[in-house]
A and B are shown apart, each in its own frame.
Chain A
């Protein structure tokens, strides 16, 4: 059967905030732009971002982008690249104002300026304090409003959407240039080649590798799986942010805004334990500090409940009125998923995987960079990544709250701008290789062939259980070593997945098998990278190497699928225009 082929100037995979922001840049430049997305764009996981966009607008008091930059470098535990972080902090006000002009319904102050709310880790005066209100929000629907604003703008600009399509593999030219993707149309079951002169991955995170996660079911790391299979490395995959407050047993997020508004954590003795771990910031310390404190309380026997495996988030003292006005929805979440009413009783919470700091290595222009002839950051022609699937790296070892939305706006736009320039300089489509879709078709055929036998459900469950037990918020050397062994066994089993349903139209069993193959790549990268990093930094916390070790480990991990090989590259400590922020102890 001849394979359908469609040509575009640019293909964007993923229709969350980063993909939509990049696509807008491309379409408004008059380029033929396709966006491939598994679900309708406004159902992307960006919709779950409630907290806001961090930007030093200074609407609530003094603020400067240099302070935002400092907080981000410190938050990253100095693993973030300072050129990218400077770019993020400098550009943040511009992309927020731009979004305001696109019609984003931000909350307002009396004087008409954008209201900004407080958020953990954001300070004045290069970390010295006091806290600064820097988060621009639209009630608790910031992500939702952002997706709608950007989607409408894309429709206006003529972006072509391929909804309920799943990208499957990268197409590479003989010279290594990226020429587009293969993709599955769910409605027909057909595979097509979407040829592009420039390809952007904005596929989000892969939190579904863990059993306890706030991520939606769609977050299966498809871009990371595709990149890894094409031979590209994944950067810093050992760093996963555990949100301190997922509802125990469900994963559903309780926003940090609860603590921003005055809620606090208690152990089984009723002690407000964050006062011991972070005497100044207390419950507003950065996420990894709070997660570690919670895990320590639980590990040392001060957890609550029959198994002592969670702590409590108290907010009843805020009063019904404040809870309903400032924290709408929290009451319903607690009732439905934790079976408590927080106006009376505290919510059982546990550190839950929330955000992936690592990803496809890029520079601050959104270009994918890998070790090559031009040094450790050699640009891959035609290949771009932005948002959670990318590692620019602004989040380093730990992301500062509100920087995820800032990231996808700043780097979505930057990648779009870079692609526009690349497309101007590189007119015409290179020849597609004859075997463009062979690897994809062979993978699908293997799922349906006689050689299989492994169940998608069973292998997936084993993967999530293994990641949770062996690469959780606290990491132990014996568990990591065993975890590497197990995850490789699971990867081997995933080579032999079989699906009983071989129908074509909306074959979700096939989609789930293809997603699991992506999850397996991410899990391998995470476990192998985590086992090898013999220090504690940001969200990566080891029991045997409890301190950050800048002499040996101030470097980025690069994991390659082939042979689970690891390489390292230096952290860029040199900002674009300002003085470097030298590493020091990260104390809140």
Chain B
């Protein structure tokens, strides 16, 4: 998993403008935080770098994402 400092930084960056994202990301980190490393960690960081509405569109299935590298983590987020 990511280093301790990195995990704390990630947890803070899961603080969002939209409550919807706050709730989903908190559920996600509790469930999958331990499994975040390497490519998965990079994918997660790219997803949370999105704007709140864009992230929520992806998580809620209102938008689709074509990048193969993001699919697994996005699927976890959608299920969270």
- A-to-B contact residues, CB < 8 Å: 38-39, 42-48, 141, 144, 147-148, 164, 186, 213-218, 250-253, 328-329, 332-333, 336-337, 505-508, 511
**Contact A508–B8 (Cβ < 8 Å):** yes
Task: Give the residue of A39, A47, A329, A511 whose beta carbon is less than 8 angstroms from that of B62.
Answer: A329
**Number of residues from B at the complex interface, CB < 8 A:** 23
Whether B62 and A252, one on each chain, are in contact in the complex, defined by CB atoms closer than 8 angstroms, is: no
A39 to B24, CA, bound (A): 18
Residues of B within 8 A of A (CB): 5, 8-9, 11-13, 15-20, 22-24, 51-53, 56-57, 60-62
Check if A332 sits within 8 Å of B19, measured CB to CB.
no
Chain B positions within 8 Å of A144 at CB level: 51-53
A220 shortest CB reach to chain B, Å: 10
Closest B residue to A505 using CB positions: B5
Residue of B nearest to A48 (CB): B18
Specify which chain B residues have a CB less than 8 angstroms from the CB of A252 in the assembled complex.
19-20, 23
Determine whether the beta carbon of A215 is less than 8 Å from that of B17.
no
Q: Are B23 and A250 in contact (CB under 8 A)?
A: yes
Asked whether, in the complex, the Cβ of B53 is within 8 Å of the Cβ of A506, the reply is no
Instruction: Assess the B53–A46 pair: CB atoms within 8 A.
Output: no
Q: Which residues does chain A contribute within 8 Å of B23, judged by CB atoms?
A: 250, 252, 337
A333 touching B51 in the complex, CB below 8 Å, given contacts A39-B15, A508-B12: no
**With known contacts A48-B17, A506-B8, A43–B52 Cβ distance under 8 A:** yes
What residues of chain A lie closer than 8 Å to B60, measured between beta carbons? 329, 332-333, 336
CA distance A506 to B6 in the complex (A): 9
Please give me the residue from chain A that is nearest to B22 by CB atom.
A217
Q: Which residues on A sit within 8 Å (CB–CB) of B13?
A: 39
Are A46 and B17 in contact, with the CB atoms below 8 A?
A: yes
Question: What is the distance, in angstroms, from A176's C-beta to the closest C-beta of chain B?
Answer: 34
One of B19, B24, B56 near A214 (C-beta < 8 A)? B19
Top-4 shortest CB links A-B: A332-B60, A47-B17, A506-B8, A43-B17
Q: How far is the CB of A528 from chain B (nearest CB, A)?
A: 27
Task: Specify which of B5, B22, B24 is in contact with A506 (CB 8 Å cutoff).
Answer: B5
Q: Which residues from chain B contact A506 at a C-beta distance below 8 Å?
A: 5, 8-9, 12
With A48-B52, A329-B62, A506-B9 already in contact, 14 other A-B pairs whose C-beta atoms are closer than 8 Å: A39-B15, A39-B16, A42-B17, A45-B17, A46-B17, A47-B17, A164-B12, A216-B15, A251-B19, A252-B23, A333-B60, A505-B5, A507-B8, A508-B12
A217 vs B28: C-alpha distance in the bound complex, in angstroms? 16
Chain B residues positioned under 8 Å from A337 (CB to CB): 20, 23
Minimal Cβ-Cβ distance residue in B for A324: B62
Chain B residues lying within 8 Å of A328, measured Cβ to Cβ, are 62
Given contacts A186-B12, A250-B23, A332-B62, contact A141 B17 (CB under 8 A): no
Q: Are A39 and B20 touching (Cβ within 8 A)?
A: no
6 sample A-B contacts, Cβ–Cβ < 8 Å, listed by A number:
A47-B18, A148-B51, A218-B16, A332-B60, A505-B5, A508-B12
